[in-house]
Structure 1
């Protein structure tokens, strides 16, 4: 009874609509019949109205009906034959057959074109290119990699860059156009589909490419997907030794060895988290290092190239340092394929060796004797004082934080202390480490870093530098950089209150947030995705440079440093850059540029000048810095299973 009360009466209009819908759903013939009825219901009355309102129409009824037929037949393309009803019926039949044939032909053509256009829009056609660069996968590095490949001004630049990812082709083209800009003479081609499918991977013709790059996504299974793509690439290229060089990136070090096996003998694998952690650790105590590396890795200015060493064969490596006016020599590529970065000045340049130089492009490294430009009287004779132990503060924790701590432990001065403040449970050993404790002591403290009052309550006076790490994507409702920017704002407010500027090393995930970071000029902002993309693009241009970058970003061997100009030349003295190069050579280093500290040191270069002409003269102040490639002593890596951190009990500490 209640259900009958709630039931509303159905109107005649609703019943008619329901009956019409059921009729149309029966078959295509029913639909065509209704279309004919609707057309006749509109065309015939309108044609009759036109005939009856025409002053020149026939007077007789039969004549007018014939005119109505002709008008309706012309509108519906059914023929205009008049006469007996049989003739008119045959004419209409022929018109319907013609209409059916033409409509079918138009439908077939339209469907074929639509399917072809849809296939092209999905990016499933085969790429017929030679010497192109293939980028497999879509991540936050893809725009940087593609942009640098397009901007490369060298003989290695590909004529086309082909991107294959499991995304919409139009969406990829729009995103690349927004980030990369005009591609100039380089063609950008996008194809859609899973790169781990050999059938789809064959569409981009990797066998004829000049290089293949495999990028990890931001998903938790990114490294496993990189392995699948490398195996699919092996299936397409075959098991032979031929094929293009393959460059891949993984996030976790556990996948690096399998990825090397899958990439083959011509493959190079980078571990992005380790590279980022090494750079963060290197920036501690070296303000401006991230700016130098960014300028060094992009293709907008000078970058590393290989140059002929014929003029220096049989002589010492130190002679080559002053053997180029517009290039800076930093290492050797021996005839056996070994790369020596910043070797001793007495190292012999054997026949078949090539020089690793910082220069504008491939053809700009021309030998020229610059020894006459050196002014010995301007060289500083005093030895630089040893660096003191540092007290550092690390705010935040993510998957790269243990790598950062380990790198700091190996490079810190003896007696240094690292305080870690985080709102997450982090691993910490329960016993005193057997070695390295006197080098860096690590202490943990738990605090809610999401609250500004917690940050504003920090005492920054004891610290020589700060490291800010953002949370992992997905750890909270906000984007990772949002928490980082809030932390930087609080630190900037503390600097204004105390009147003391702090050296801050900040990690961001999106390069678009770099201009938003409220940091002082002495701080470094590191975008991990951009750094990896620049490295991939550089190695893709010349795979022989992979050992150079591997050593530059490692804790052992040679690395890039910024040191006071007074360590090399007399401050307040005007002299040439060749004099700086000679002074650095005498200290076992390779000078590649400088950073000035004056009013002109503003963004975007912040006073950094790489690869200046050897004849360039300037007055060197006590605040200026020289950019050198140098070798610094480090703590040996701890043995497997050995604790690397000192533990201070706290509510957030857990055993790994």
Structure 2
């Protein structure tokens, strides 16, 4: 740096900072036009525009040095200095924002160009070094080849001259040692480069990201290590064979690196070195036989890598086994079954349903029942085990899943199931029916189609139309809440009917079966009625009416093609038609018409859909009958609930509602009622505890015991004087034909001294003596 002779003479000396860096001494350099003593006033002038470098903050000094390096790299001339130095200009640019922005933009561009040129130079140097090494390697190989040719020529000449000693000397020199030495060095260098390049890349990954952001002039770009980690995460998460593939690549890479390194430090061939590397990976104890510093270092390194590889392999195998057992334990595996019964959902009715299915499959040697619900498999299996009933050869398979997901439905082989049962959930009726509707939609969306029929349990009768609309003829609905209410009314009005319904609806004794018999085409129902020795026909499933079932049809009904016969039998394979027997019906002893009498019925508790039970009672009872409702619901709220349910109390034709408020589990409240005046008492599961089956049953049992204790009497049944006289001897078929004169079907009887009724009795042609105190179980039209 030189002084400019044209600078103003306002000061006899000029101060400036070093132009390159602050590695030089911190004291300012001085240039004098004329020597002055250090104690002059101008030297100590505090109002000077320039300050000492020590007084300038470190950050400002760094920025000044940084800007000066940018200007120097861009070719800024610093040989001639004017009246004010470059330092003064830089300090002034810090004070002036407008000039500073322009200078910063220009400096950033120049710095970016400088970084790019520097990286290009580094890359060029690396490429040149690697190219020179390869060129040197090939040159050495070419020289070795020339030397080998020359040795061959000299050897031929020596042999031609019969100089045996020289021949022995030349023959004793192995020709392949010179060429293999360069290959070994190349292999060693290549193995070291393959090992070091990933380490260098990982080490300077963040630096590369920073340089890239500076080159692209952006600050929001993710770093290279984060993007690389994300790609690895995606690969390991979505690729089905990512972990085994990664383990295989790591193993092959370790064997390759170890083989190349061993080839570089030993005299063995490349194939032997690769095999030796594999032995080090497979068994870490093989490296103890290595001799020499180089082979031992390589063998120890490969053995250490082999231990890591096998640790990874053990971890992967352990994870795979754990995932498989966890999948089996949680019920995620696929069910490979066909002609099985599929139950979707979980409720308190599942135990009774499984018990009846086990009894039904007993004649077949057992069957398969698959239960799928949104519960853990272990919990479902534990709850089923607590039921402690005999499965009779039927196996129950539990799976965890949702019936709303097609993948879960396919997991339980829904398209191959013989029958599908959709259970209603315990809880709110509307939510349960909405879920059942969505389940039916999912079932109808199975592409493979459904082989079996669907039975859907609903909680509200009003939702039956929606499910029928979605499922069509494939779906059968059962409104269990409404059916139970109707059965309770019938059993309350006819004592002993509860046991008969239990026998018919269960599989322990006789139950309903429907089957097609082509030999009955063109026959009258009166003839079909006595054609089964081991069954009792009850109705016809009419094919021309879309499968509508007619109970107790006319005797003159002719069976058409496609019609099916509904019978009560022990099992589906326990009955078959036989030749028509010779049976004389005879006449009824008298044509009695039992007039309806007024009744008084008590309802203890308040259940959902109470209006439906009231309508059924209004159709059954005689005019003037009373229905007493005893519960904790106030009278105004009762009327509101009945009105919201669609019941118009003013339109009830036969019954009168009597409201009483009280608690059915308190004896004092029950004693306030005239219990001895009621012909029937129905104990209902209270709506307030409907969600808990155990609590509802406990309240019902407590009420029953209290009423029994207060009432202290038994209900009676009527005799069979409508069909026969006292002591008359008739066969069951003869009684059956007499009942047809009243348009009734006799399906069983209960003797006067017996406790249980006999449904579908055997030996129907055998005559026996009857009593008017006996009771016959019939199917008849509503009175």
Aligned with residue 585 of structure 1, among 740, 743, 747: 740
For the residue of structure 1 that corresponds to 2:473, the secondary structure is coil
Matched residue, 1:230: 440
Matched, 1:281 2:489: yes
Structure-2 change in CA distance of 1:403 and 1:183 (3 Å): same
Structure-2 change in CA distance of 1:92 and 1:563 (3 Å): farther
Matched residue, 1:453: 668
Aligned with residue 722 of structure 2, among 545, 567, 574: 567
Structure-2 change in CA distance of 1:404 and 1:232 (3 Å): same
Q: Once the 2 structures are TM-superposed, how far is the Cα of residue 254 of structure 1 from its aligned partner?
A: 2.6
Please list the CA deviations of residues 619-646 of structure 1 after superposition, one character each: whole Å capped at 9, or x if unmatched.
433332111110013xxxxxxxxxxxxx
CA distance in 2, matches of 1:595, 1:382: 22
For residues 78-97 of structure 1, the aligned pairs below 5 Å read none
For residues 214-293 of structure 1, the aligned pairs below 5 Å read 214-220=422-428, 221-237=431-447, 243-293=451-501
Q: Judge conservation of contact 2:536–2:760 (CA < 8 Å) in 1.
A: no
Matched residue, 2:752: 597
Matched residue, 1:613: 763
Please list the CA deviations of residues 379-409 of structure 1 after superposition, one character each: whole Å capped at 9, or x if unmatched.
5334253242211111111114322222111
CA distance in 1, matches of 2:297, 2:466: 78
Matched, 1:398 2:607: yes
CA distance in 2, matches of 1:223, 1:471: 20
Q: Once the 2 structures are TM-superposed, how far is the Cα of residue 304 of structure 1 from its aligned partner?
A: 1.6
Matched residue, 1:195: 403
Structure with higher Rg: it is 2
Q: Once the 2 structures are TM-superposed, how far is the Cα of residue 376 of structure 1 from its aligned partner?
A: 3.4
Aligned with residue 492 of structure 1, among 692, 708, 719: 708
Q: Judge conservation of contact 2:539–2:551 (CA < 8 Å) in 1.
A: yes
Matched, 1:174 2:382: yes
Higher normalized contact order (CA 8 Å, seq sep 6+, divided by chain length): 1
Q: Once the 2 structures are TM-superposed, how far is the Cα of residue 435 of structure 1 from its aligned partner?
A: 4.2
For the residue of structure 1 that corresponds to 2:566, the secondary structure is strand
Structure-2 change in CA distance of 1:258 and 1:416 (3 Å): same
Aligned with residue 631 of structure 2, among 413, 422, 426: 422
Q: Judge conservation of contact 2:665–2:706 (CA < 8 Å) in 1.
A: no
Aligned with residue 316 of structure 2, among 108, 113, 123: 108
For the residue of structure 2 that corresponds to 1:404, the secondary structure is helix
Structure-2 change in CA distance of 1:453 and 1:587 (3 Å): same
Aligned with residue 467 of structure 1, among 658, 682, 685: 682
For the residue of structure 1 that corresponds to 2:493, the secondary structure is coil
Structure-2 change in CA distance of 1:459 and 1:629 (3 Å): same
Q: Once the 2 structures are TM-superposed, how far is the Cα of residue 468 of structure 1 from its aligned partner?
A: 0.8
Structure-2 change in CA distance of 1:80 and 1:419 (3 Å): same
Matched residue, 1:628: 778
Structure-2 change in CA distance of 1:157 and 1:591 (3 Å): farther
Matched residue, 2:513: 305
Aligned with residue 480 of structure 1, among 696, 716, 720: 696
Please list the CA deviations of residues 462-495 of structure 1 after superposition, one character each: whole Å capped at 9, or x if unmatched.
2111111121364799811221111111111112
CA distance in 2, matches of 1:233, 1:180: 32
Structure-2 change in CA distance of 1:215 and 1:630 (3 Å): same
Structure-2 change in CA distance of 1:613 and 1:113 (3 Å): same
Structure-2 change in CA distance of 1:156 and 1:440 (3 Å): farther
CA distance in 2, matches of 1:253, 1:409: 18
CA distance in 1, matches of 2:770, 2:395: 46
Q: Which has the higher helix share?
A: 2
CA distance in 2, matches of 1:218, 1:351: 43
CA distance in 1, matches of 2:734, 2:666: 52
Please list the CA deviations of residues 217-245 of structure 1 after superposition, one character each: whole Å capped at 9, or x if unmatched.
1021211111121122222247x7x6532
Q: Which has the higher strand share?
A: 1
CA distance in 2, matches of 1:113, 1:427: 61
TM-score by length of 2: 0.56
Q: Once the 2 structures are TM-superposed, how far is the Cα of residue 251 of structure 1 from its aligned partner?
A: 0.3
CA distance in 2, matches of 1:347, 1:476: 47
CA distance in 1, matches of 2:553, 2:392: 39
Single out whichever of 305-314 and 104-113 deviates more from structure 2.
305-314
CA distance in 2, matches of 1:400, 1:485: 22
Matched residue, 2:595: 386
Q: Once the 2 structures are TM-superposed, how far is the Cα of residue 294 of structure 1 from its aligned partner?
A: 1.5
Matched residue, 1:359: 569
Q: How many pairs are equivalent?
A: 487
CA distance in 2, matches of 1:117, 1:476: 35
For the residue of structure 2 that corresponds to 1:284, the secondary structure is helix
Matched residue, 2:504: 296
Structure-2 change in CA distance of 1:333 and 1:234 (3 Å): closer
Q: Let me know the Cα RMSD of the aligned residues.
A: 3.5
Q: Once the 2 structures are TM-superposed, how far is the Cα of residue 332 of structure 1 from its aligned partner?
A: 1.5
Aligned with residue 342 of structure 2, among 126, 130, 134: 134
Q: Judge conservation of contact 2:361–2:367 (CA < 8 Å) in 1.
A: no
CA distance in 2, matches of 1:461, 1:212: 47
Matched residue, 1:145: 353
Q: Judge conservation of contact 1:223–1:255 (CA < 8 Å) in 2.
A: yes
CA distance in 2, matches of 1:623, 1:418: 30
Structure-2 change in CA distance of 1:570 and 1:490 (3 Å): same
Matched, 1:408 2:617: yes
Q: Once the 2 structures are TM-superposed, how far is the Cα of residue 185 of structure 1 from its aligned partner?
A: 4.8
